Amino acid sequence: MSARLSLLALMASAAGFSSPGTAQESRRASEYRSGIAVDHVYRQQIDDVYFTDWFARLESAKGPWREVYFETSDKFVNKGIIRLNCDDAEADIDLALYSTGDYGRAADRREVTVPYADRRAWADGGYEPLSGETPPFEFYSAALMRFCK
């Protein structure tokens, strides 16, 4: 029986599924905002052992612009808004970051704009304004795909 369970676990792993202890949630209640749900958007592998899951939800859509609330509370802790343009690939990306502070509290907000010219540095992990426990470029790409369909 143990060998059979091991085989099933191996097959599930190969198919892209995780064991129950490490399963990423597809939807959960927000850790920081009561009464709202957030969806899993991206899993960031930090090193061989650690990862952090980024969750998000669409806050508003105005023309090509999307304001997306995001949060993580695993290995990293952060929350905020990322503003995406679904039509213009070269548009600036605006982020309002609250880190470990209170979401929505002006004193805890740090605003960052990523111009098109700086995206390569962000993707390579060398964009200083977004160093540390901030959304990685891959999260931006995943959010763009999810919320601009």
Considering only residues 24 and 13, tell me which one the structure prediction assigns the higher pLDDT.
24
In this prediction the pTM is: 0.80
- Write down the pLDDT at residue 13: 37
101, 107 contact by CB (below 8 A):
yes
pLDDT digit string (tens) for 70-101?
Answer: 999 877 789 999 999 999 989 999 999 998 88
SS3 labels along 79-107: EEEEEEECCCCCCCEEEEECCCCCCCCHH
Task: Please say if the pLDDT value at position 22 is more than 60.
Answer: no
Q: Three-state SS for 4?
A: helix
Task: Please say if the pLDDT value at position 62 is more than 50.
Answer: yes
- Write down the pLDDT at residue 131: 84
Q: How far apart are CA 60 and CA 135, in angstroms?
A: 19
- Write down the pLDDT at residue 133: 82
